[in-house]
Structure 1
Amino acid sequence: MDSISERASANARRGRDEEKREVDYFVRAKTGPGRKDWTTIGVAFTRLNNEPGFTIKLNTLPIDKNWNGSLILVPPFVDEVDDD
């Protein structure tokens, strides 16, 4: 059986070798009373090996006492390119 340090080392190496995945969605949370009071708190990626679902990476959680635990996934904004 592998030791914990051997597994951690293998996982660290694997993480460095993986190519960067493209963000499919941004994870956003309502953080205030206004219509535009939303904060990006993480990202979501399609799962590896074409498995259904998403992998979600949260960078933070809202600490506002009014936050009800709801999150939304929104697609990244795409810059429109003029072909003129």
Structure 2
Amino acid sequence: MDKFTLALAILAFMIAGGGLLYTIGVGRLVDTRKSEHDTQMNEKIQAHPYIRNPVFLACLIAAAFIAVYIFYLAFTRTW
């Protein structure tokens, strides 16, 4: 194992350890806030939970762009 690989391995273990400590800290924070209640959601969001979800919309838009790009390449490339 050369020095560069060893340095990358040490860096990877440090990042993994930091992530583990951060996850444990967040878990403890969630446990302390467990007794608190969330506010009521908007009625429009309750009626359409998937349409109003920005993560779901981003995935749909990305899939649409990828499909358009694939069809563009399929019809413009000469084989």
Structure label with greater radius of gyration: 2
Using structure 1 for the length normalisation, give the TM-score.
0.29
Q: Which has the higher strand share?
A: 1
Using structure 2 for the length normalisation, give the TM-score.
0.31
